[in-house]
Structure 1
Amino acid sequence: MTLLEKGLLLGVLVIAVFFIFGCSRSGNTGNISIDVSVDEAFKLWKLKEALIIDIRTPEEYQAGHIPGVPLIPLDQLEKRAGEVPKDQKVLLICRSGNRSSQGTKLLRSKGFDNVYNVTGGMLAWRGPVER
């Protein structure tokens, strides 16, 4: 194998490696956390650095909710997405964190880059609750 052939082969291998690894990360948000703890959520809410939106059912909300937090049930979230601000940090909360995780993924797929899931949900919330 000549020096030119070795150089060409090396060049092709380098391009292939960059292509394979570069493409495998395209669109990957795996390194971006979409979750916040209830402690972090409480801090952000108390400092008015984030809006919390409750996505539980109206019945769950009436049984106890964070004071001043609006309700947009998960089954209405897609059609009411216009009510969610894009220019501020938004935290979605549900009972346990499962539905709010779904809601976070839904909104992020629609271009809401500043939406986060409150892990543990209302079951883990230790802040004030209004009934």
Structure 2
Amino acid sequence: MSQIKEITPQQVEEKIKQNEDITVIDVREDEEVAQGMVPNAKHIRLADIPQKVEELPKEQEYVMVCRSGRRSMNAAEFMQGKGFSKVQNMEGGMLKWDGELVF
């Protein structure tokens, strides 16, 4: 069983509205992201996470996002294994997101 905390899309939206210091990372493919992303999200495809993770500050709080929550959970578990302690997965992914989208 995963040790990754899950956060609801509504909680993510609230953190964004409150200007909390979180980084949302969208691990979907380019064509999926073209359909809209969480505001201020950083797009790093799942396949690129192993290379890009070295560029990310470990002390930052991250919320991982994909379409349904499965790929982002894999990314979150990978990051946790690399020493990132503040990584959460957005429950249900973009399928459950009903907030604002950016293109």
TM (norm. structure 1) is 0.71
- The equivalent residue for 2:45 is 73
Identical aligned residues as a percent:
31
Q: Aligned equivalents of 1:68 and 1:34: distance in 2?
A: 21
Deviations 1:57-82 (A, max 9, x none): 01111121122211000010011002
Structure 2 residue aligned with 1:46: 17
Q: Which has the higher contact order (CA 8 A, sep 6+)?
A: 2
Contact kept in structure 1, 2:4 and 2:76, CA below 8 Å = no
Q: CA deviation at 1:86?
A: 1.6
The SS at the match of 1:100 is: helix
**Higher helix share goes to which structure?**
1
Deviation at 1:33, TM superposition (A): 4.8
Secondary structure of the residue aligned to 1:92 is strand
- Report the RMSD for the aligned CA atoms in angstroms: 1.7
CA-CA distance at 1:130 after TM superposition:
1.7
| Length-normalised TM-score, structure 2 | 0.89
**1:28-65 deviation per Cα after TM superposition (whole angstroms, max 9, x unaligned):** x86x5521111111112222321111110011111211
State the one-letter code of the partner of 1:86: K
Q: How many residues align?
A: 102
Mapped to 2, the partners of 1:82 and 1:45 lie a distance apart of 24
Distance 2:12 2:39 in 1: 14
| Alignment gaps of 5+ in structure 1 | 1-28
Tell me the amino acid that sits aligned with residue 39 of structure 2: P
Counterpart amino acid of 1:58? Answer: D
Q: Which runs of 5+ in 2 are unaligned?
A: none
Q: 1:123 aligns with which of 85, 95, 101?
A: 95
Which one has the bigger strand percentage? 2
Counterpart CA distance in 2 for 1:33 and 1:103 is 10
Report the Cα distance in structure 1 between the residues aligned to 2:95 and 2:57, rounded to whole angstroms: 26
Separation of aligned partners in 2, 1:98 and 1:90: 16
Which one of the candidate residues 27, 40, 50 is aligned to 1:55? 27
* Alpha-carbon contact 1:104-1:115 (below 8 Å) kept: yes
